[in-house]
Amino acid sequence: MADIDFSSPADESNRKTQNKGGISTSSTNIRQDILTQDNDVETENDPNKITVTIADETTPLVILFGPPSCGKTMTLVRLARYLRGLNGYTIQPVTSFRPSTDKNYKEICTHFDSMINSENAADSTNLINFMLVKILYQGKSICQILEAPGEHYFNPQVPTGKPEDIRYINTIINSKNRKIWAIIVEPDHTNKNMKNEQDRKNYVDKITNLKKNIKSRDKILFVFNKIDETPYIINPGKVQMREAMREIRNLYPNVFVPFKNEVPIFKWWKEYNFEFIAFQTGSYPKCTDGTLGFENGHDIYPENFWKTIVKLIRG
């Protein structure tokens, strides 16, 4: 990756003109447009019957790993919006990821741009629920990001299931690609699926099992999502990271233990083998019709997320 000169996200002169909030489009009826295809849809809902193909085995994979409703989809949406505001970046769905017979996935790929730009949060969260996208800079592939249903990684209703027992996740774990596992954690009051201490302990067990199954060269990135719902923000982008990390350690006991640096010469300056960032997607104003809109949060959060991904790719 050393031959790629990434444009600096901090250089505002490189940014395209864009709406800092929601982007008004004609995508209001995206969900209806896709769902009206039902008579022609051939899609598979059993995760162990899902077939996926990673055609590009050289471009690194970034896997958004987390329980239902933790914000994986909107994290992808926010990062995509941010990168599209920088000169040289392209974000596109990988159409070969799912079989050509999966007409639902084909429709999602076709409407990807509209869903990313939609002012309606549900247009994104209801539809971008299992897909692979590629990020390119000046035509060169940088990484591929996988967004999959949270219940495939951790289902609070069936806490004993192992992600690696799901066919397509096992395919991804064993693929030749270098990987970054972006493990999403959050405050205890922002997700009804994770309010109970036992649910969070079960999630830690899933993360521990994941560590046992992934390759040693795989990189780990903990993403403290919904940081705006905590008292740790001093101002946009300036977060009390030590306190934020302590909070996650308390909410998810032993979550960092599998990633402890055991190499004596290194553990003195870096206790754990992972990166840890704070993240916020944006705000979700309630519309008069009861739906939730979406307004971009501060650019510093996706900027830092992207810089960390690039650092891990290069490292």
Q: For residue 120, is pLDDT > 90?
A: no
pLDDT at position 46 is: 72
CB neighbourhood size of 250 (10 A): 10
Given a contact cutoff of 8 angstroms between Cβ atoms, the answer to whether 180 and 221 are in contact is: yes
Distance of alpha carbon 297 from its chain centroid, rounded?
16
Q: For residue 195, is pLDDT > 80?
A: yes
Indicate the range of 12-16, 70-74, 128-132, 282-286 predicted with least confidence: 12-16
pLDDT at position 122 is: 65
Question: pLDDT band at residue 135, thresholds of 50, 70 and 90?
Answer: very high
Largest CA distance in the chain: 61
φ, ψ (nearest 5 deg) of residue 82: -65, -50
Highest mean pLDDT among 90-104, 220-234, 260-274: 220-234
Q: Are strands 233-235 and 61-65 parallel, antiparallel or unpaired?
A: unpaired
The whole-chain average pLDDT of the chain stands at: 84
13-37 residue pLDDT tens: 455 444 444 443 444 444 444 444 4
pLDDT at position 235 is: 94
Alpha-carbon distance 293 to 27, whole Å? 12
Given a contact cutoff of 8 angstroms between Cβ atoms, the answer to whether 75 and 13 are in contact is: no
pLDDT at position 125 is: 64
Alpha-carbon distance 107 to 279, whole Å? 30
pLDDT at position 19 is: 42
Given a contact cutoff of 8 angstroms between Cβ atoms, the answer to whether 94 and 177 are in contact is: no
Highest mean pLDDT among 14-23, 127-136, 183-192: 183-192
Percent helix, strand and coil across the chain, each rounded to 5? 40, 20, 45
> How confident is the model over 193-206, as a mean pLDDT?
93
pLDDT at position 80 is: 96
Given a contact cutoff of 8 angstroms between Cβ atoms, the answer to whether 177 and 132 are in contact is: no
Question: pLDDT band at residue 129, thresholds of 50, 70 and 90?
Answer: low
pLDDT at position 4 is: 47
Give the contacts of 35 (CB within 8 A, at least 6 positions apart): none
Is the pTM above the cut of 0.75? yes
47-91 residue pLDDT tens: 678 789 999 999 999 999 999 899 999 999 999 999 999 999 999
Alpha-carbon distance 79 to 83, whole Å? 6
- DSSP letter at 127? T
pLDDT at position 263 is: 77
Question: pLDDT band at residue 297, thresholds of 50, 70 and 90?
Answer: very high
pLDDT at position 161 is: 64
156-180 residue pLDDT tens: 877 766 666 778 888 899 999 999 9
pLDDT at position 128 is: 66
Give the contacts of 229 (CB within 8 A, at least 6 positions apart): 186, 187, 189, 190
Residue 59 in tokens: 């471009």
Domains observed in the chain: 57-314 (3.40.50.300)
Give the residue among 45, 168, 35, 200 at the shortest CA–CA distance from 111.
35
- DSSP letter at 5? -
CA dihedral 231, 236, 241, 244 (to 10 degrees): 30
pLDDT at position 197 is: 95
pLDDT at position 164 is: 61
First to last CA, the chain: 9
Residues of the chain with pLDDT > 70, as a percent, come to: 81
Q: Are strands 89-93 and 61-65 parallel, antiparallel or unpaired?
A: unpaired
pLDDT at position 169 is: 87
Higher pLDDT, 155 or 241: 241
pLDDT at position 153 is: 82
